[in-house]
Structure 1
Amino acid sequence: MPNENSGDSRRRMHTQPGSPRAARPASGGSRFRSAGAQPAAHRQQASGARFRTSQTDVRPNPRPVQPATRSRYAAQSSSARRGGSPIKVIVGIVVALAVVAALVFVVVPRVSELLGGGQPALEAGQEVQLTIPEGASGDDIAAILAQNHIIDNPKDYYAAVNRLDASMSLKPGDYILYTGQDPEEVVSQLVDGPNVEGNKITIQEGLTVAQTAARVEETFGISADEFIAQAKASNYAADYPFLEGAYDDSLEGYLYPKTYSFTDVPTADEIIRAQLDQFVTETSSLDLNAGPSGLTAQQIVTMASLIERETAVESERPTVASVIYNRLAIDMPLQIDAAIVYARGGGSDPVTYSDLEIDSPYNVYTNYGLTPGPICSPSISSISAALNPDDTDYLYYVASAAGDGSHKFSSDYEQFEADSEEYAESLQ
């Protein structure tokens, strides 16, 4: 998804030869262990209990004494012997047809209703909105799906849960499903989570805590100030140990970007916990403490946030990461404009020369090393790039004249200047 308020229109990473070396800031975060916390998402286990259907006690009629059918000749002979008039015969036939019709339209549907558990059949493919409540068991979910005609037989639902190994991943919430839907499709949706638009919010990659707070206020009416006040690392470190020692007690970098759905209008705390749970889920297969150059997990997230804001092209994120590592290795200032935008409080205006003199630990023109903490919430792509940079000797990059969001990378200043001039000409 696109980044907002990038503010890094020049997309240049360069040095200013002869510029004075500034004092090195303190380390941006202490070492900590990988999170062992598990997501607080709702879990259920589908029960294997069998569903029983009640059956009425129907006794068979005694075998009729007379034959079940009679020949046409025998019927005619009998009528002639009784001497019945043709009019009476016709009336009798009409009455008999009426009785048959009544049986077809009244009795047969009633029998079908009894045999089907009292639920009239619905046409397949009809949209149904339903709620899976918090704490619902596997039997509860199966019953809700059957009552709404989403599945025909609970056994099919249980089989799909087992095939997809989903018993521990079903989520409560509001769903739109369809009558007669394939059981595996139903289970897959329950694993993905609620799909009703009502209480949904999308947090894009690259947003800051302040921008996330503004989005929450716009969507749910929770004031941005209330959200920011709640978004303190100290409020959650007990449940999410990786937050211990977070710079400035901030959750910057850890409110994972994603679309979230809630059964009811959520609180600030519920939104934050959902994002922290998602961060744990997304990074569970990564060892954030195993980054190159001995960087801590917090420093990996910090670097990932810089990568996220510097390029929206996923394929070149490992290359941007390599430039950052190469500059750190030779004690060269990072000079990343996105960090300057964060230091000045955001905005979409281009970075000016006066901005480069801002007195802030996030000013990576005057300070050496990484910023003391993340500058946004990075995607898993950027986190992976920070852990696995390309092997290059690049020290510079500038936006490509192609105008497609990509960059040109170089290892010497002269080539960087040529690429920069080409980009400047493309803007004219």
Structure 2
Amino acid sequence: MTDPYTAPGLASGLTPGHLGAPVAEPEGLPPGRAPGIEPPDPRRLRTGLACCLSVLALAGVVGLAVLATLLLWPSGQEKAADFAGSGAGTAQVSVVQGATLTQIGQALEKEGVVASVRAFTEAAAKSPAGTRIQPGTYTLRLRMAAGSALNVLLDPANANALTIPEGRRAEQIYAAVDQKLRLAEGTTKGVAGQQAAALGLPDAARGNPEGYLFPSTYPVTGETTPLTLLQLMVAQAAKRQGADGVTEAAEAYARSPYEILTLASLVQGEADNPEDMTKVARVVYNRLEKSMPLQFDSTINYALNRSTLTTTAGDTKLDSPYNTYLHPGLPPTPITNPGRDAIQAAAHPAEGDWLYFVTVGPGDTRFTDSYEQHQRNVAEFNARQAARSSSPSAGSR
């Protein structure tokens, strides 16, 4: 973030028993002799021997009975029902984000893929990678051995799903949907424009899905269309915003929920970890309160449909409502599709008086309310950049 009176372009960019211990033998006793026990009377040895032989004979009879019982009675819990082999036929099973192994096993059993939930969860427990099943829609065979089904689910290549990372713009998401569904370029964008009313967007969006295409992993099946995918994203965004208190934040900061979402999109574009996100959000609120222009390079990049780390003096004169160097306040719409961390940061910003921040290096973002200190931070950033003689890896606001 640069100050309104600072030449732009000086520094910019984005950036799970144990055995008991052995007991020592007491001193003064013959080897093997236990303390407190007298040696046996030789006169009793003959009688004792006869008793022992009788007991051993009886034990032999009882032992045979016990052995037979152990052989005929299952030890512990009965073995889980399981199929054998790799199965036949096909079935599709969807794994949603956050599903437990038991839930996945239940879905597999319901579709006839595995014989029992227990067989599947036991197979997963024996596998080092058993908890690494990715969300998606999988094609499996019917009546598979649980271990075979697990192997299919652990192969990422078998997951038929679309993952949308945080911070993507709507145009990038449209292209990803086209590619995943093997559609002609521009198909999903056309659907978003022509069927905007069917997406489930709030009135404030005015038919523009930007900001409402929530980043997550979505299942893709033979019945998936661009419209159904976009509807899932919008529904997930609404759910996330409700859970993270966007409406309450709007009331607290005298803003609309749409403005809080727009602010979250700026936070997503300017910070890359949850802690910094909460601080960037506070910088936005503080500058808005003081009627200071935001001067975010991310808004210039959005206007120019690019992703660069530098902003020139010419860029700051760009005639666009998204130019936050020229136009005060928030941009007219979100500029990215923010994830959970960014939305939470916008709704629950950190406490602080910061007005400026600069990312001096990876993981090192400096926040301050002093313009002079900010300039020193910027100078350090520029010195590092010059020393590396490479593209900027951080930026200032």
* TM bracket (short chain): 0.5 to 0.7
Distance 2:351 2:332 in 1: 25
Matches within 5 A, 1:26-425: 121-122=83-84, 130-132=91-93, 142=109, 144-145=111-112, 148-151=113-116, 173-174=137-138, 179-180=145-146, 197=158, 199-232=160-193, 235-237=195-197, 240=200, 243-247=202-206, 249-264=207-222, 266-291=224-249, 292-348=252-308, 350-400=310-360, 403-425=361-383
Decide whether aligned partners of structure 1 residues 200 and 151 sit closer, same or farther in structure 2, where only a CA change above 3 A counts: same
Decide whether aligned partners of structure 1 residues 327 and 174 sit closer, same or farther in structure 2, where only a CA change above 3 A counts: same
Contact map agreement 2:287 2:294 (CA 8 A) in 1: yes
Structure 2 partner of 1:71: none
| 2:367 aligned counterpart, secondary structure | strand
Decide whether aligned partners of structure 1 residues 221 and 151 sit closer, same or farther in structure 2, where only a CA change above 3 A counts: same
Instruction: Report deviation, 1:172.
Output: 9.8
Matching residue's letter, 1:17: Y
Matching residue's letter, 2:3: T
Query: Deviations along 1:360-379, whole A, 9 cap, x unmatched?
Result: 11110001101111001000
Decide whether aligned partners of structure 1 residues 16 and 270 sit closer, same or farther in structure 2, where only a CA change above 3 A counts: same
> Are residue 14 (structure 1) and residue 36 (structure 2) matched?
no
| 2:162 aligned counterpart, secondary structure | strand
Matching residue's letter, 1:350: T
Distance 2:168 2:232 in 1: 16
Instruction: Report deviation, 1:131.
Output: 1.5
Distance 1:140 1:293 in 2: 44
Contact map agreement 1:304 1:386 (CA 8 A) in 2: yes
| 1:260 aligned counterpart, secondary structure | strand
Instruction: Report deviation, 1:198.
Output: 5.6
Contact map agreement 2:211 2:335 (CA 8 A) in 1: yes
Instruction: Report deviation, 1:143.
Output: 5.0
| 1:231 aligned counterpart, secondary structure | helix
Instruction: Report deviation, 1:314.
Output: 2.0
Decide whether aligned partners of structure 1 residues 175 and 324 sit closer, same or farther in structure 2, where only a CA change above 3 A counts: same
Contact map agreement 2:82 2:145 (CA 8 A) in 1: no
Matching residue's letter, 1:144: E
Structure 2 partner of 1:41: none
Consecutive unaligned residues in structure 1, runs of 5 or more: 1-12, 20-118, 134-138, 158-170
Report the count of equivalent residues: 284
Distance 2:343 2:107 in 1: 39
Matching residue's letter, 1:174: Y
Query: Deviations along 1:21-45, whole A, 9 cap, x unmatched?
Result: xxxxxxxxxxxxxxxxxxxxxxxxx
| 2:327 aligned counterpart, secondary structure | coil
Decide whether aligned partners of structure 1 residues 18 and 410 sit closer, same or farther in structure 2, where only a CA change above 3 A counts: closer
Distance 1:203 1:348 in 2: 21
Quick check: 326-335 or 210-219, which moved more?
210-219
Distance 2:269 2:92 in 1: 38
Decide whether aligned partners of structure 1 residues 342 and 405 sit closer, same or farther in structure 2, where only a CA change above 3 A counts: farther
Instruction: Report deviation, 1:262.
Output: 1.2
Matching residue's letter, 1:231: A
Query: Deviations along 1:305-352, whole A, 9 cap, x unmatched?
Result: 000000112221000000000000010000000001001122436221
| 2:283 aligned counterpart, secondary structure | helix
| 1:294 aligned counterpart, secondary structure | coil
Distance 1:323 1:127 in 2: 59
Matching residue's letter, 2:138: D
Distance 2:2 2:117 in 1: 65
Decide whether aligned partners of structure 1 residues 259 and 406 sit closer, same or farther in structure 2, where only a CA change above 3 A counts: farther
Decide whether aligned partners of structure 1 residues 211 and 153 sit closer, same or farther in structure 2, where only a CA change above 3 A counts: closer
Pick 1 or 2: higher relative contact order, CA cutoff 8 A, min separation 6: 1
Tell me the TM-score normalized by structure 2. Answer: 0.62
Contact map agreement 1:257 1:275 (CA 8 A) in 2: yes
Query: Deviations along 1:41-75, whole A, 9 cap, x unmatched?
Result: xxxxxxxxxxxxxxxxxxxxxxxxxxxxxxxxxxx
Distance 1:383 1:263 in 2: 29
Quick check: 277-286 or 327-336, which moved more?
277-286
Distance 1:127 1:195 in 2: 21
Contact map agreement 2:83 2:115 (CA 8 A) in 1: no
| 2:158 aligned counterpart, secondary structure | coil
Query: Deviations along 1:160-206, whole A, 9 cap, x unmatched?
Result: xxxxxxxxxxx99435597346x9x9xxx9xxxx9773632221111
Consecutive unaligned residues in structure 2, runs of 5 or more: 8-80, 95-105, 122-134, 387-397
Decide whether aligned partners of structure 1 residues 357 and 245 sit closer, same or farther in structure 2, where only a CA change above 3 A counts: same
Contact map agreement 2:268 2:342 (CA 8 A) in 1: yes
Instruction: Report deviation, 1:246.
Output: 1.1
